[in-house]
């Protein structure tokens, strides 16, 4: 396995990965990893029931120290408005969200290259995942969160030993607070550090394997900053380059209408990064007003032939409720996926006979107060 390099996608300059980076030394923007070569069925360790079954394609310098079983989540058959859908239950990982895919890889990498303390900012799920893996790996962990983040998520982080700092204001205010401390503690941002995407790309590998080594026709997922969208695209692009699939699946990314900067750019064709006038949303996990990787997320969706759609607060609640009534107890952010499925089917973007994978990203146990309020229970 050839070690990847960090690469600045804006300038093409590269750096070795033996030292952790979260921003490019030349222009201060985010960095990527040089492309991987994908995986074949013969490369898979079928005795390993986690994302590490794809170890040859997950490019760590050494064997991971703490895995906590991230990945290899169930792909469950369901009916959605008379359309068959495969529900990818990524909320069933140890911290309760899909973020474990990225954190498991990123934090093992950071430990391997000598990082001992990390700083993260999060609306909740990434912070909970960071606290979990920091505890498992013996890393000091400081997490900036919105003061209004669900109490269950903040309690989860604190219970794992993280130093949890509540910041008043918007999700972007939280990111700014973390950036202000990033000169003294390594900023393990899931939006900037590309080993996080090295983990989330395994979602594509799992869907491919679980569907009989075929890509689905389309993937539906919520979109906040885009680590699931980027990761899925990276994974499927590697499979395509390796000759394991003959096309990319269409990616349908779902944003809350109250905070939809990617949708605004997608519809206008304008790739200028500019703040979106956000409002509070029940889908707090995707309420990110200022995109970090706007151009790359837009390119991933467009290259796939998919689109970015928005759903209202009422549609999100309906989507969450419909998922719950089928046995999927997910947080309201994931309700956006249910709402997106309904809209895409109604618009005939998803057609009869197509293979559809819907990514369920976060557990409802993290948002019981919001869920209870939506049900009139308090």
User: What is the enclosing helix (H) or strand (E) of 299?
Assistant: helix 294-304
Query: How confident is residue 366, by pLDDT bands cut at 50, 70 and 90?
Result: confident
Q: What is the structure's pLDDT at 351?
A: 94
Grouping H, G, I as helix, E, B as strand and the rest as coil, residue 368 is helix
Query: How confident is residue 101, by pLDDT bands cut at 50, 70 and 90?
Result: very high
Q: What is the structure's pLDDT at 246?
A: 97
Q: What is the structure's pLDDT at 274?
A: 66
Query: How confident is residue 378, by pLDDT bands cut at 50, 70 and 90?
Result: low
More confident residue, 285 or 68: 68
Q: Which residues pair with 187 in a beta bridge?
A: 119
Q: Write 259-262 long-range contacts (CB < 8 A, 24+).
A: 259/286, 259/287, 259/288, 259/289, 260/308, 260/310, 261/288, 261/289, 261/290, 261/291, 261/294, 262/223, 262/226, 262/291, 262/294, 262/297, 262/298, 262/308
Classify the phi-psi angles of 322: left when phi > 0, otherwise alpha if psi is within -120 to 50, otherwise beta.
alpha
Domains by residue range for the chain, with CATH? 75-97+195-374 (3.40.50.1100), 99-187 (3.40.50.1100)
For residue range 9-40, list pLDDT tens digits in order.
Answer: 999 999 999 999 999 999 999 999 999 999 99
User: Per-residue pLDDT averaged across 295-300, rounded?
Assistant: 96
User: Per-residue pLDDT averaged across 229-255, rounded?
Assistant: 98
Q: Which of 235, 266, 182, 181 is nearest to 357 (CA)?
A: 235
For residue range 178-202, list pLDDT tens digits in order.
Answer: 989 998 999 999 999 999 999 999 9
For residue range 120-141, list pLDDT tens digits in order.
Answer: 998 788 999 999 999 999 999 9
For residue range 234-243, list pLDDT tens digits in order.
Answer: 999 999 999 9
Q: What is the structure's pLDDT at 278?
A: 63
Angle at the Cα of 370 (from 366 to 373), degrees rounded to 5? 145
CA 187 to chain centre: 18
pLDDT reading at 377 higher than 90: no
Query: How confident is residue 175, by pLDDT bands cut at 50, 70 and 90?
Result: confident
């Amino acid at each position: 396995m050839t070690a990847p390099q960090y690469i600045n996608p804006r300038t093409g300059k590269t750096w070795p990965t033996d030292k952790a980076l979260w921003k490019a030394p030349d222009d201060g923007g985010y960095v990527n990893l040089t492309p991987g070569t994908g995986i074949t069925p013969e490369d898979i360790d079928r005795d390993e029931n986690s994302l590490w079954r794809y170890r040859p394609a997950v490019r760590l310098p050494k064997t991971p120290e703490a895995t906590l079983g991230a990945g290899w989540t169930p792909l469950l058959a369901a009916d959605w408005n008379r359309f068959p859908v495969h529900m990818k239950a990524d909320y069933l990982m140890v911290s309760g969200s899909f973020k474990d895919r990225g954190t498991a890889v990123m934090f093992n990498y950071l430990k391997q290259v000598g990082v001992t303390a990390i700083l993260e900012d999060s609306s909740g799920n990434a912070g909970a995942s960071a606290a979990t893996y920091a505890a498992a790996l013996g890393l000091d962990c400081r997490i900036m969160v919105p003061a209004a983040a669900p109490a269950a998520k903040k309690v989860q982080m604190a219970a794992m030993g993280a130093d949890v700092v509540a910041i008043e204001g918007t999700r972007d205010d939280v990111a700014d607070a973390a950036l202000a401390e990033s000169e003294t503690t390594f900023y393990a941002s899931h939006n900037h550090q590309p080993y996080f995407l090295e983990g989330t790309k395994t979602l594509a590998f799992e869907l491919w394997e679980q569907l009989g080594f075929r890509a689905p026709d389309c993937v539906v997922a919520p979109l906040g900053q885009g680590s699931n969208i980027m990761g899925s695209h990276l994974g499927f692009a590697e499979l395509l380059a390796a000759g394991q699939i003959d096309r990319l699946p269409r990616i349908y990314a779902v944003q809350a209408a109250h905070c939809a900067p990617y949708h605004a750019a997608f519809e206008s064709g304008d790739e200028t990064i500019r703040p979106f006038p956000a409002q509070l949303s029940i889908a707090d996990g995707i309420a990110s007003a200022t995109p970090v990787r706007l151009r790359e997320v837009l390119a991933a969706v467009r290259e796939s032939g998919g689109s970015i759609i928005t759903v209202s607060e009422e549609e999100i609640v309906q989507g969450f409720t419909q998922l719950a009534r089928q046995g999927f107890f997910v947080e309201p952010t994931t309700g956006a996926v249910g709402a997106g499925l309904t809209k895409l089917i109604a618009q005939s973007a998803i057609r009869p006979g197509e293979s559809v994978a819907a990514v369920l990203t976060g557990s409802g146990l993290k948002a019981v107060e919001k869920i209870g309020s939506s049900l009139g229970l308090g």
